[in-house]
Amino acid sequence: MNKFRSRLLFALISLIVTVLIGLGILLGQLFKGFYLDNFNKRMEKELQYVASVMEWEGIRYSLFYPETLKRIEDKLRVNLSLLDENGDVLYDSKNRIELQNIQAIKGIINKLDKTPDVVEAKSGDKQSYYYGILLRDKHDDRAYLILNLSVSSIAEVERKIWGLLITNFLIAFIVIIFLGIKITTQYTRPIENVAKVAIELAKGNYKARAYGSNVDETEMLSKAINVLARNLQEMTSAQEMQQDRLHTLIENMGSGMILIDSRGHINLVNRSYREIFRVTDEEYLNSLYYEAFDHKEVIGLVEEIFMTEVKVRKQMLLPIGIERKHFEVYGAPIIGTNHEWKGIILVFHDITELKKLEQMRKDFLANVSHELRTPITSIKGFTETLLDGAMEDQKFREHFLSIILKESDRMQSLIEDLLDLSRIEQQGFQMNMAKVDVKQLIEEIAVILQAKAVDKEMDLRVIIPASITVTGDAHRLKQIFINLINNAILYTPSGGTIEVSATEEKNRVRICVSDTGIGISEEEIPRIFERFYRIDKARSRNTGGTGLGLSIVKHLVEAHHGEITVQSTPGKGTMFTITLKK
């Protein structure tokens, strides 16, 4: 805005200077012309006066007594010359013999021969003015009277005129500059203030206001910008309130939601979706949907809505990390008021728990009866064999009774695991939280399972620093790692290696249980934490596994607010990583 004020002031000053210069030149010429006219008239009158004096006294008398002419020259401050009819000099105040050779004198004499009036002429170098008149006295003598005036006197008067004009114009220029600065400041300062307020409004600061002005026009502008600011502030407040409500609703709704624009770019991902699918805004926002989504089923759903422009509702089973979750996905096109295609909205309802409950109701009896049928059938069969006469044989009796005991232990383990899993899944399940030394805990477990590892000629290693501690329930943590290490021993061939290691981070501890066993295929990893799911069913049953161990491990880790991940390569081994708070 200072540039605007400077430009305005510069334009005003330039205009004023141009006007003053033009006016000065015009007035100078007018004054000069007026002065020369008056000067010429005065010289003519003075010359006529001198001529009348000389005609009255007589030309001869004046030549005989030149004092009269000298007095006239002194009074009038001019040079007088008298020439006869032939142009010869009779009298000259400065005794200029060359006077008759001056072109101006000859011109005057030629003019005087034609007119009795006063005539004038300038010298060739324009340094002198000449005025002439023809004398005819009472003696009938004739002569030419020439009055000569140097131009220096006229130049002096001209300098005075220009000096006066320049002085007055300078004073006027200074006054006008002062008034111009005051006027431009008076008008531009409110405009500058309004411009600053407009800039603040453009930045989003709707609390900015313009101060009042004494000038009507700028005062109206200030009032108008203040009314605009108040209206924008009210509109923005209402919009922010609506936006906050909408944002709170979207972020806190229990289902995941995604907005896709008409070009296929993802514009919004709510918190529920980020938490369910364990993604970040950076991975999704402004990305094309087919690049962001990892699941072909979701991509197909979006493409179907793009092609058909109708609502679609589907149930999907999607793998997320090591889990598989059921979703009811609702997709709908977003159509504007003018039937303009604006994009797609996707809502993911997590129905995994509902599906689990439904599946549990269907599968629980089947799984339990299936798991109990084998030991019950074995117990019943061997008991009937004993009752049929095999009891008399000491060798068969002991062998059959040992099998019955083994199957009874298996049934007991299954029932205990079911009861344990049921307690863990209850709403009021509590643990005895305390600081636990990770190294001491793992070493105790290693002592318990060392015999199994030695029987299979395995190397069980514990690589944990002595200073690592976590917050947790020692009994439940021991249950977690007994299950993991025991599984590693069961599914690792003889001569393999099992390693338990731990590393510290900022506020968490990562504990890894790795082996060189048979490994798990990528398709089976999401299902290993399901109840009664076995990777190698024959091996699991031969070793007495119930199929509930990893399900118990997962629930206990989540009860500790931790995470469990699996990395496995078939034929090379598996690594379970558990992350717990320090």
List average pLDDT for each run of 10 residues in the chain, which is 582 residues long.
65 76 75 72 76 72 66 73 72 59 64 58 59 73 72 67 77 78 71 75 73 62 76 81 84 88 90 87 87 89 89 89 86 84 90 79 64 71 73 72 76 69 64 84 86 85 85 86 87 88 87 88 79 58 61 83 88 89 80
Tokens, residue 453: 């590892």
| Closest to 326 measured CA to CA, from 526, 101, 126, 89 | 526
Residue 40: exposure state from Cβ atoms within 10 A (0-12, 13-18, ≥19): middle
- The span from the CA of 562 to the CA of 508, in Å, is 9
Q: What is the pLDDT of residue 97?
A: 45
Q: What is the largest CA-CA distance in the chain?
A: 203
Are 460 and 452 in contact, with CB atoms under 8 Å apart?
no
- Give me the pLDDT at residue 252, please: 84
User: Tokens in use for 467?
Assistant: 């200073």
Q: What is the pLDDT of residue 433?
A: 83
Contact assessment for residue 301 and residue 329, using Cβ atoms and an 8 Å cutoff: yes
Q: Are 519 and 568 in contact (CB under 8 A)?
A: yes
Query: Which residue is associated with the tokens 């009752």?
Result: 387
Around Cβ 528, how many Cβ atoms within 10 Å? 21
Phi (first) and psi of residue 536, to 5 degrees: -120, 95
- Helical packing angle, 151-203 and 216-252, nearest 10°: 20
Going from the C-alpha of 513 to that of each of 16, 450, 516, 544, 565, the distances in angstroms are 93, 15, 11, 21, 11
Residue 154 is predicted with a pLDDT of 62
Q: Is the pTM of this model over 0.85?
A: no
Q: 80 pairs with which residues across the strands? A: 147
Q: How far is CA 537 from CA 121, 374, 408, in A?
A: 140, 13, 19
Ramachandran area for residue 510 (φ above 0: left; ψ -120 to 50: alpha; else beta): beta
Cα–Cα distance for residue pair 2/192, rounded to 1 Å: 8
**Closest by Cα among 240, 239, 300, 302 to 266:** 302
Q: In this predicted structure, what is the pLDDT of residue 118?
A: 57
Give the pair of three-digit tokens for residue 527. 């299902």
**What would the two tokens of residue 27 be?**
């007035």
* pLDDT in the model for residue 63: 65
d(CA 132, CA 82): 10
Task: Report the alpha-carbon distance of residue 407 to residue 191 in Å, rounded.
Answer: 96
> What pLDDT is recorded for position 115?
59
